[in-house]
Structure 1
């Protein structure tokens, strides 16, 4: 059983870059600590090391955002995502979307068979 408020964090607007850096690093560490739990809870067919790599990629993708209001919004979205993952409020298919290569689904130059298109959900 999960307690919905166990990992909840009140919305707090950070006013300085050093404080934001500390908050982001703490959230990143929490994600990494729970990566094995994500694999076990969602019965993922990927190793925890790959989950950790994906977590790192997602944080690195936003690394060079310098606008503090934007950083605040990104932090709160990441915090909400963490709470949803830990409390098992997502389904396995939602978690696996992070590990799919988006280019494989939108490559229009490749001539797919009917079955390939059907499995991808495209017309």
Structure 2
């Protein structure tokens, strides 16, 4: 049973987290998105990232669009709260450079292609 069905079965008695309706939740998401965008130059500078601001903006956009399918207001509010915590942790440098760069990790880049590496990981010699 989805959260929407549970809320309807309870007669709408589920207490909202932050937003009262979808428009309020949308406003909170856009405010979080703008906050991330405003902090990108400072994040690049303070962490001395080897990527451009444009690349970081594209990653932020990608992460927001990855969660755009959520329609339940409570789920959206929880994601907004998590986004604010991530932003605060990043701004206050509670993360290291490795934590920030983990968003840009390409797993295929680090895979070795030689015979011994494939053998040790259990892949066939293709």
**TM-score of the two chains, using structure 1 as the length reference:** 0.74
Can you list the C-alpha shifts for 1:12-53, whole angstroms capped at 9, x where unaligned? 521210001011101101101111111111110000000000
Change beyond 3 A, Cα 1:40–1:66:
same
Hey, which of these two has a bigger chunk of helix by percent? 2
Shift of 1:112: 6.3
1:113–1:34 Cα change, 3 Å = farther
Pairwise CA distance, 1:111: 4.9
Counterparts of 1:38 and 1:23, CA distance in 2: 22
Structure 2 segments unaligned to the other structure (5+ residues) = 1-16, 121-126
1:40 counterpart residue number? 45
Identify if the C-alpha distance between structure 1 residues 16 and 96 changes in structure 2 by more than 3 Å, giving closer, same or farther: same
Q: Which has the higher contact order (CA 8 A, sep 6+)?
A: 1
2:87 corresponds to 1:82: yes
* Equivalent position of 1:66 in the other structure: 71
C-alpha distance 113-55 of structure 1, shift in aligned 2 (>3 A): farther
Task: Rate the CA distance shift 1:111–1:65 in 2: closer, same or farther, 3 A.
Answer: farther
Q: Which has the larger radius of gyration?
A: 2
TM-score by length of 2: 0.72
> Within 2, Cα distance between the matches of 1:91 and 1:102?
20
Give unpaired runs (5+ residues) of structure 1.
1-11, 118-123
